[in-house]
């Protein structure tokens, strides 16, 4: 049995350089799980796919090219999640059909987009952007998943516009923020992020028990 976890993640733009940076950020965000997997001799692979359609395509291809691995699709929800499962949400929003042989554990959402994770950890935002960061512009909303997609990026840009690093940039800043985020804070504020980490922990334990 192949002991491997493979994640296919939306984002990173069109170039290999920017995808590499976002991959670096996610590798750090998942660092504890990556290290745990490695100690149990479980392979770990992150693929940054660009657009959400490319992420879904790459995930579907992985089900054929890596059928024995635990493959995960991670994309922005792009809207409030009102359906009972992530696959139902993606069918409703994107008309994606759940591939054969997978279940809800294989599908995870950043709700409503990755920027909500950053807003969950205001202290990291404050430290990263430094002087000029307007914390008053960040929604004080315990349920970050209810913040509308169309408000997330503009809110970050407004809050950071007068900082030395300049306004929030999806590529230049996102990978660095991913490296710095307090995972516990994000998981507490985002049920879907918590679900992702719980799924990965469970799968690592399962793969260990199978050895």
pLDDT in tens, 126-145: 999 999 999 988 887 778 99
What does the pLDDT read at residue 211? Answer: 59
Rg of the chain (C-alpha set): 17
| Residue 125 pLDDT greater than 70, yes or no | yes
Domain ranges of the chain: 4-112+189-210, 116-174
pLDDT of residue 210: 75
User: Does pLDDT of 1 surpass 80?
Assistant: no
* Predicted local distance difference test score (pLDDT) of residue 188: 95
pTM of the model as a whole: 0.96
pLDDT tens for each residue of 144-181: 999 999 999 999 999 999 999 999 999 899 999 999 99
Instruction: State residue 44's pLDDT score.
Output: 97
Cβ-based burial of 80 (10 A; exposed 0-12, middle 13-18, buried ≥19):
middle
What confidence tier does 208 reach under pLDDT thresholds 50, 70, 90? confident
pLDDT tens for residues 82-112?
Answer: 999 999 999 999 999 999 999 999 999 999 9
Mean pLDDT of the chain, nearest integer: 95
> In this predicted model, what pLDDT tens digit does every residue of 53-90 receive, in sequence order?
999 999 999 999 999 999 999 999 999 999 999 999 99
37-60 burial: b if 16+ Cβ within 10 Å, else e: beeeebebebbbbbebebbbebbb
How far is 143 from 91, CA to CA, in rounded Å?
Answer: 24
């Amino acid at each position: 049995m192949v002991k491997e976890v493979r994640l296919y993640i939306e984002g990173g733009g069109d170039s290999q350089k920017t995808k590499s940076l976002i991959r670096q950020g996610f590798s750090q965000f998942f660092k504890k799980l990556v290290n745990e997997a490695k100690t149990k001799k479980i392979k770990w692979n992150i693929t940054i796919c660009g657009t959400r359609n490319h992420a879904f395509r790459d995930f579907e291809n992985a089900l054929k090219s890596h059928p024995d691995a635990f493959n995960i699709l991670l994309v922005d929800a792009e809207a409030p999640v009102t359906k009972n499962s992530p696959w139902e949400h993606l069918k409703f929003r994107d008309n994606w059909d759940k591939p054969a042989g997978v279940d809800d554990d294989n599908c995870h959402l950043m709700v409503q987009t990755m920027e909500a994770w950053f807003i969950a950890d205001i202290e990291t935002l404050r430290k990263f952007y430094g002087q000029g960061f307007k914390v008053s512009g960040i929604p004080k909303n315990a349920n970050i998943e209810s913040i509308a997609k169309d408000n997330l990026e503009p809110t970050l840009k407004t809050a950071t516009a007068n900082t030395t690093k300049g306004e929030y940039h999806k590529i230049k800043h996102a990978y660095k923020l991913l490296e710095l985020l307090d995972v516990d804070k994000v998981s507490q504020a985002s049920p879907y992020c918590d679900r992702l980490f719980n799924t990965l922990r469970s799968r690592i334990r399962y793969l260990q028990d199978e050895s």
